[in-house]
Structure 1
Amino acid sequence: MRTLPNSADLPDVLAFMQGLWAVVHRMERLSKQMGASVGVTGPQRLVLRMIALFPGLSAGDLAAVLHLHPSTLTGVLRRLEAQALVARTSDPEDRRRTVLRLTRRGARASASTKGTVEGAVAVAFARTGQNHRAATRRFLDQLATCLDREIARTR
């Protein structure tokens, strides 16, 4: 019987990538389950949470905060608007500008973390010390910067 290699058998970079892909895959699986059980996917819920925390953001501002291309966010917002979870309104300070707000239904969908990616992350955070979380955040920021450089370099 053949034994499969585990992360201890891999160089650090590959072991990290293996772990990162495992997290991404599980987030995608839970996101699909959320669509069926909660009514919104993980990315849709993230948009709801950001609008709940920062009401009055424009779609462009939200795309920038989430590091998404505006066209990617457009589809998410359309689905949330179709479900009556998000509404676009005129900015009271500049009528030419449209801002995003949660509807009452959107506020309810944003409130509970049960069965969500956010809930799982919150549990992991509760089990991890502040110093470790801060170091992980710094590493993820550094990784994102390095990925951006590779994207720019290979265009």
Structure 2
Amino acid sequence: MTAVEGRTLADEDATWRVFLGMSRDWFIVMERALGQAADASVADLELLEPLLDAGECGLRAKDLAAAAEWQDSRVSHQLRRMEQRGLVARARDREDARGTVVRLTEAGVRSAQVARETRRRVVRRIILDVLSPQELETLIEAADRIRGAVAEVAAQS
């Protein structure tokens, strides 16, 4: 019997509901925590952390998109919003005038540091404090397999 055999529509529906609910609840809690602590969003965090890791040299916008696993256009729109809030500065790449380098401002560094610590605190509280080491390993392995299946489906469409 394969993994799919023996599963019912009720199993599929329950899986969908628990995944959707968990995803929604997780996102709401993280958005609220980041907003309160760092005046940042989950979208901000996805760009702030790679920029924080890059340090003063910053990142090319294209490399930032790859780090965040976002399309270039989404990065561009998010950076515009973050630039208006004084978190990032963009400049032409000196090595390739067609490219843009993104750097955190002083306010961006502070926001990124607080956002990262907030993210770590929420992950500890919601996942690490709840799951055993074995459950955490299983979660990570399952999530990796699910992401692989999602990538396959996305490539087919």
Q: TM-score range by the shorter chain?
A: 0.7 to 0.9
Report Cα offsets for 1:61-118 as digits up to 9, x if no partner.
Answer: 12112221111121111111111101124556x2534322211101111122499555
**How do 1:48-127 and structure 2 match up within 5 A?**
48-55=48-55, 56-91=58-93, 94-96=95-97, 97-113=99-115, 116-127=118-129
CA contact (8 A) 1:42 1:117 kept: no
Moved over 6 A (4+): none
Q: Which runs of 5+ in 2 are unaligned?
A: 1-9
Q: Which runs of 5+ in 1 are unaligned?
A: 1-9
Q: Percent of pairs identical after alignment?
A: 21
Per mean C-alpha deviation after superposition, the further-off stretch among 34-43 and 64-73 is: 34-43
Richer in helix (by share): 2
- Does 2:153 correspond to 1:141? no
Rate the CA distance shift 1:88–1:146 in 2: closer, same or farther, 3 A.
same
CA contact (8 A) 2:40 2:115 kept: no
What amino acid is the match of 1:42?
A: V
Rate the CA distance shift 1:123–1:54 in 2: closer, same or farther, 3 A.
farther
Counterparts of 2:137 and 2:76, CA distance in 1: 32
Shift of 1:18: 2.3
TM-score by length of 2: 0.72
Report Cα offsets for 1:118-139 as digits up to 9, x if no partner.
Answer: 5311323432344433332222
TM-score by length of 1: 0.73
Q: Higher RCO, 1 or 2 (CA under 8 Å, sep at least 6)?
A: 2
